[in-house]
């Protein structure tokens, strides 16, 4: 990831509109900023959320609140709680997210 031509700035996430993204169950609310090819998001998953797809996009993801279980296509399950993060490259390990109790994440991709 090259971070080019991005002037210094501050994001007040309380001012960023939320968009709704339904899962197979539950819903994700995204607040998104784009900086060239880099997308930065604050994402809140509702109670009982299960993603509606397997994702092959690379991410750096930090759990801020709640608990997130990320299922990898090979069957592994990675659990994030506040203060834990993961990173994965594009097109390497398909994954999907779920949460029983809800979660809030900060994601860069």
The domain total for the chain is 1
What is the model's pTM?
0.91
78 part of a folded domain: yes
65 part of a folded domain: yes
11 part of a folded domain: no
Structural domain harbouring 70 = 41-108
86 part of a folded domain: yes
List the one residue out of 45, 60, 53 whose CA is nearest residue 90. Answer: 60
Tell me the C-alpha distance between 105 and 109, whole Å.
13
pLDDT digits (tens, 9 = 90+) for 26-85: 999 999 999 988 999 999 999 999 999 999 999 999 999 999 999 999 999 999 999 999
99 part of a folded domain: yes
Residue entry with tokens 């959320």: 49
More confident residue, 2 or 36: 36
17 part of a folded domain: no
Q: What share of the chain is helix, strand, coil (3-state, %, to 5)?
A: 5, 50, 45
Strand arrangement, sheet containing 19-22: 19-22, 27-35, 38-45, 103-108, 59-66, 85-88
């Amino acid at each position: 990831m090259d971070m080019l031509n991005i002037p210094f700035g501050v994001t007040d996430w309380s001012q960023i509109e939320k968009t709704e993204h339904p899962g197979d169950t539950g819903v994700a609310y995204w607040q998104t900023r784009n900086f060239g090819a880099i997308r930065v998001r604050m994402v809140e998953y509702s109670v009982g959320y299960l993603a509606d797809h397997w994702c092959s996009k690379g991410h750096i993801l930090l759990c801020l609140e709640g608990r997130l279980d990320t299922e990898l296509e090979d069957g592994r399950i990675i659990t994030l709680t506040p203060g834990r993060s993961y990173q994965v490259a594009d097109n390497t390990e398909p994954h999907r997210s779920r949460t029983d109790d809800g979660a809030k994440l900060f994601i860069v991709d």
